[in-house]
Amino acid sequence: MNRETFLSYHNFFYLWISLLTIVILSVLYIYHSPLGGANGGTVLGYSYGVLATIGVLYLMWYGIRKRSYAKAAGSLKGALAAHVWIGVSLLLIVPLHSGFQFGLNVHTFAYVLMVVVILSGIWGAFNYITLAPRIQAHRGGGSQEEIVEQILFLSAEIERIVASGEGDYLLRVMHELDMPFSVSLKSSLARNRKAKELDANRAAILLSAIPENESDRGSQLIELISKKRALIRQLDSDVATLYWMRVWLYLHVPLSFGLLAAVGVHIFSVFYRW
Amino acid sequence: MNLRIVIEFIRGNGQSETTSHEFNKNSIIIGRGGKSDLSWNSDKFSAEHVRLSLRDESLFVEDLQSIGGVRVNGHLIQRQELRSGDTIRFGDVIFTVSNESNTWELSGIRRELLDESLEESADKRVRRLDIRYVFPSIKKVSALVVVFVVLLFFIFPLLDIPSRRGAMVWSSGQVSSAHMMIEHDCQACHAHPFKPVQDETCLACHEMTDHAVSLVKSQSPHAEERCASCHFEHNGSKGITVTESKLCTGCHENLLKVISKADMEVPELRDVIDFRSHPEFAVTIHSEDGYQRVSLDDAARLLDPARIQLNHAVHLQDGLMGPDGTVQLGCDDCHRLTPDTKTFSPISYERDCSSCHGLEFDERLPGVSVPHGDAEIVYNFAYAEYAKLFLDIRERPERVVPGFERFKPGAVRRKSVEQRAFVHNEVDVAARGAEEQLFTKKACHLCHTITEKTSEQFSRDGEHSARFIVQKPNIPDVWMPKAHFAHAAHQEIKCESCHEGVRASESTRDVLLPGVESCKVCHSDVGVRGKVPSECVLCHSFHESKVLPEEKRRELAEFALFSFTEGREDG
């Protein structure tokens, strides 16, 4: 892959920096044996805590940077690479800070929030890497608005043809072969890209039952229905892709603010009851 | 005649639901609203769209001038009789007619109308597919999460809601078991916000000796240390005291770095880095002018100061003569552990020596031993016994007392005054004789250091005082006061294995204590494999606790109040 992603930015520069940091901090941790065992209140404990807090604040800053039009040093992609790799390294830095002590309290709760934030971020990054190519793949036909309009238009056409026909034959065809459609995220996801193509055999059987005078309209109907299904399938794929590329943010961002609050409480309470 | 209308309603997402309506009337109207008996809210219906009527046993359908029209079997009709199998279509519904046992049934399908017309703006429509418009905004969710966290984890604990449990979320770990009943009362120890735990909160309940006096005078950074520097709470079952040796060796590895020799309690104290290089033990030897610390490898000064004679070699030999034949003495016969197994009881004459070393002093007084006590007591006891002896003479004529002859009848008796003086003198002589025997030739003399009083001393003490002085033996009972050794824990080892040379020791001056090398056979620093891990505190103590004074003690009921299950007025 020649293309530089937000992970591999600058030959994985930020990955190496994070790895190096982790290694150095771990080695220091192993050789430091403070009185009473490792905990957040030793020299290393305080230092790592400060580092982790700075890390969290830097990571939160990405959200601001992303929306800012101000000229900033470095590209956004580089900033994202730093965000991702520093974020992952925090998974280990915080337990090193606490001496791997955990309990049912706000201090561990802050870490739990952080873990969920980081894992959701990893999930999001994974989704981005795997799903982004798919977006480009589907949009060959047009934007989502165009596809939806086309589907709705086809639905109306189908209804018109059926309404104009004599007898129920067309009605039956429509009932059996058409797929009901409404513009809703929920139903799109529920269909889960499973809008299958027309069953050709069934279509043939139904067509053969139609009387001569209606058979033109019958084949037209089938063609319309077939096209509609294909468009629905395309739309569903697009909708789902965009959904999975965004849904993780609903965990990642709110919980990161929760994390910020929890870290604030952690620092306050540790010194309030020193 | 009954009419039943069954509708299957198919939604846009493919799900369907079936409803059934029963009518007993002869005619019903179906439409969008108005006077309709059955209505559906859909643009495709006119207000009153169609009438279904029953006449005799026939079912008729009639178009009520609707806009969309009514089709039967595909043909637009105005009014028509229906037969079983017909299909009716109007609005957005298609019915199939059937007749069964006097009930006309119309079963039909409706499909959910798309509520979007093509006039609705396309980009607004497509938002319904976009998670960013369908879900609540991320900002709102974030605000909610922050409020939740701040409320539950900051406000509630700060205000102690729910009472006394709220603050527990701030606890950094379980407290030690001894402090469990005040676990929820953060302020019992963390009395001042933003300040570390101060000694005064510990001393509110506990009573401590000062730390080593030298420490207080030293320039060590530890001199200002708090209790909390060595006692770490919130470590659950790990306990509150830190026992790592480096706490001690921080100063003791180079004492002169932290304190000047002049300020040292024990100036000759040697530096210690770890147990492996622990210097040879030193014993504390008391003398009249104080005490000295003498190292066990300082042969010249290492002398037991006890003023007593004991020859271990003799006592431990085979074939030792006892009162009833030969005996074999062992260490246990004289050196006994106290009931708490911590130290040895001091050697007691009565318990350990008297069985062989009796204190009888006169064949004429068999079984009578002087008490093992002060020389004054010994002399006066002997005196009293002799007095009794002479007074008893009439009962025991076989005792011969010199100078007390029987007098022949008719002989002149001595004057009673003279008699008394005579007896007094005899008793005195006997007592003095016994005293001399005991103190200079046998018994006391065998073990004790005895000096004779000078004439000044004797005249000062009076003529009925003892002539000799027994030097206080001053047998040391604690050789190493700054270290604890649990003999009970070491019972598997033979005494002489560590206390080498006892069997050969002939002089009391020998100090027969084990040196550090015998400990190093089993003990070493923490982390050395195959050895008992031994921190400094295994043998040494930094400070002892004092008995808690009365004013610090509380009623039992107060402790119950501390616990969760009881309420407290102040919450």
Tell which residue, B376, B351, B502, B378, has the closest CA to residue B437.
Answer: B378
* Residue A74, Ramachandran bin (φ over 0: left; ψ between -120 and 50: alpha; else beta): left
Average pLDDT over residues A159-188: 80
Is the minimum CB–CB distance between A261 and chain B shorter than 8 Å? Answer: yes
**3-state SS, residue B467:** coil
pLDDT at A138: 57
Contact B194 A274 (CB under 8 A): yes
CA distance linking residue B370 with residue B442, whole number of Å: 13
For the beta carbon of residue B347, count every other beta carbon within 10 angstroms: 16
Interface test with A, best of B172, B174, B230, B535 (most A CBs within 10 A): B172
Question: Which among A37, A148, A153 has the least Cβ separation from residue B126?
Answer: A148
What percent of chain B stands above pLDDT 70?
87
What SS3 string covers chain A?
Answer: CCCCCCCCHHHHHHHHHHHHHHHHHHHHHHHCCCCCCCCCCCHHHHHHHHHHHHHHHHHHHHHHHHHCCCCCCCCHHHHHHHHHHHHHHHHHHHHHHHCCCCCCCHHHHHHHHHHHHHHHHHHHHHHHHHHHHHHHHHCCCCCHHHHHHHHHHHHHHHHHHHHHCCCCHHHHHHHHHCCCCCCCHHHHHHHCCCCCCCCHHHHHHHHHHCCHHHHHHHHHHHHHHHHHHHHHHHHHHHHHHHHHHHCCHHHHHHHHHHHHHHHHHHHHHHHHCC
Q: Using the beta-carbon criterion (under 8 Å), do B118 and A260 form an inter-chain contact? A: no
Partner-chain contact A182 B118, CB within 8 Å: no
Give the end-to-end CA distance of chain A in Å, rounded to a whole number.
53
Q: How far is Cα A209 from Cα A176, in angstroms, rounded to an integer?
A: 13
Looking at beta carbons, which residues of chain A come within 8 Å of B145? 254-255, 257-258, 261
Span B415-465, pLDDT tens digits? 666 777 777 888 888 888 888 888 888 888 888 888 888 888 888 888 888
Question: For residue A170, which phi and psi values (nearest 5 degrees)?
Answer: -65, -35
How far, in whole angstroms, is CA B544 from its chain's centroid? 16
Distance from CA of A70 to the nearest CA of B (A): 22
Percent of chain B with pLDDT over 90: 14
Measured in angstroms, the CA of A204 and the nearest CA of chain B are apart by 22
Out of B139-153, B222-236, B292-306, least confident range:
B222-236
Q: What is the mean pLDDT of chain A?
A: 86
> Is B5 in contact with B24 (CB distance < 8 Å)?
no
Which DSSP symbol is given to B350? I
What whole-number distance in Å separates Cα of residue B233 and Cα of residue B152? 25
- Angstrom distance (rounded) from CA B296 to CA B143: 74
Contact A254 B123 (CB under 8 A): no
Q: Is the distance from CB of B199 to CB of B207 less than 8 angstroms?
A: no
Q: What is the ipTM of this complex?
A: 0.88
Q: B211 pLDDT exceeds 50?
A: yes
Q: Using DSSP, state whether B7 is helix, strand or coil.
A: strand
- Average pLDDT over chain B, rounded to an integer: 83
Confidence of residue A92 (pLDDT cuts 50, 70, 90): very high
Interface contact A35, partner B, CB < 8 A: yes
CB B81 within 8 A of CB B59: yes
**A185 and B153 in contact by Cβ < 8 A?**
no
Residues A168, B111: C-beta atoms closer than 8 Å: no
Distance CA(B571)–CA(B535), nearest Å, equals 44
Q: Among the ranges A109-118, B103-112, B310-319, B348-357, which has the highest mean pLDDT value? A: A109-118
Contacts of residue A268 in chain B, CB cutoff 8 Å? Answer: 154
**Cβ atoms of B263 and B269 closer than 8 Å:** no
What tokens does B32 get?
Answer: 């969008």
Strands B2-10 and B16-23: antiparallel
Q: How far apart are CA B493 and CA B183, in angstroms?
A: 44
Give the containing element (helix H, strand E) for B384.
helix B375-391
**Mean pLDDT within B315-339:** 89
A108 in B contact zone (CB under 8 Å): no
Amino acid, res. B89: R
pLDDT exceeds cutoff 90 at B110: no
Per-residue model confidence (pLDDT) at position A1: 47
Kindly give the pairing relationship between strand B38-39 and strand B450-452: unpaired
Q: What is the predicted pLDDT for the residue at B397?
A: 54
Cβ contact B532:B521 at 8 Å: no
Contacts of B246 in chain A (CB under 8 A): 35
Residue B562: pLDDT band (50, 70, 90) is low
Confidence label for A261 from pLDDT (cuts 50, 70 and 90): very high
**Is there a contact between A45 and A38 (Cβ–Cβ < 8 Å)?**
yes
Which of A84-93, A149-158, A168-177, B291-300 is predicted most confidently? A84-93
C-alpha distance from B357 to closest chain A C-alpha (Å)? 57
Q: Are B46 and B68 in contact (CB under 8 A)?
A: yes
Q: Which residues contact B26 (CB under 8 A, 6 or more apart)?
A: B1, B53, B54, B55
**Residue B342 above 80 pLDDT?**
no
The whole-angstrom distance between A252's CA and the closest CA on chain B is: 10
Distance, CA of B348 to CA of B369 (rounded, Å): 16
Smallest CA–CA distance from A98 into chain B, residue: B172
Nearest to B14 among A180, A185, A257 (CB): A180
**Can you give the pLDDT at residue B164?**
66
Alpha helices for B160-235 (secondary structure H): 199-203, 213-217
End-to-end CA distance of chain B: 76
pLDDT at residue B565, as a whole number: 46
The contacts found for B367-373 with CB under 8 angstroms, 24 or more apart, are B370/B434, B370/B438, B370/B443
pLDDT grade for B118, boundaries at 50, 70 and 90: low
Read off the DSSP letter of residue B430: H
C-alpha separations of A208 from A26, A160, A226, B533, B539 in Å: 76, 21, 17, 94, 103
pLDDT of residue B215: 57
Q: Between β-strands B38-39 and B27-31, what pairing exists: parallel, antiparallel or unpaired?
A: parallel
Q: How far is A89 from chain B (nearest CA, A)?
A: 24
Record: contact A145-B125, CB cut-off 8 A: yes
Which amino acid makes up residue B98?
S
pTM of the model: 0.70
Tell me the two tokens of residue B429.
């002589």
pLDDT at B146 over 90: yes
The whole-number pLDDT of residue A75 equals: 80
Strand-pairing partners, residue B451, are: B469
Q: Do B515 and B380 form a contact (C-beta atoms < 8 A)?
A: no
What is the predicted pLDDT for the residue at B219? Answer: 57
For residue A254, say if its preceding peptide bond is cis, omega within 30 degrees of 0.
Answer: no
Residue B184 · residue B162 · CB < 8 Å: no
> Considering only A30-34, A165-169, B123-127, B234-238, which range has the smallest mean pLDDT?
A165-169
How many CA atoms within 13 Å lie on the side-chain side of B563?
7
pLDDT higher than 90, residue B557: no
Whether A211 contacts chain B with CB within 8 A? no
Q: Which residue has the higher pLDDT, B430 or A260?
A: A260
Over residues B469-484, the pLDDT tens digits come to 888 888 888 888 888 8
3-state secondary structure of B100: strand
What's the Cα-to-Cα distance from A86 to each of A21, A83, A115, B281, B518, rounded to whole Å? 9, 6, 13, 55, 56
Q: How far is A268 from chain B (nearest CA, A)?
A: 9
Distance CA A108, CA A266 (A): 9
Q: For chain B, what percentages of helix, strand and coil (3-state, to nearest 5) are there?
A: 30, 20, 50
| Alpha-carbon gap, residue B360 to B382, rounded angstroms | 10
Q: Per the structure block, which two tokens stand in for A148?
A: 């939806």
Average pLDDT on B131-147 reads 93
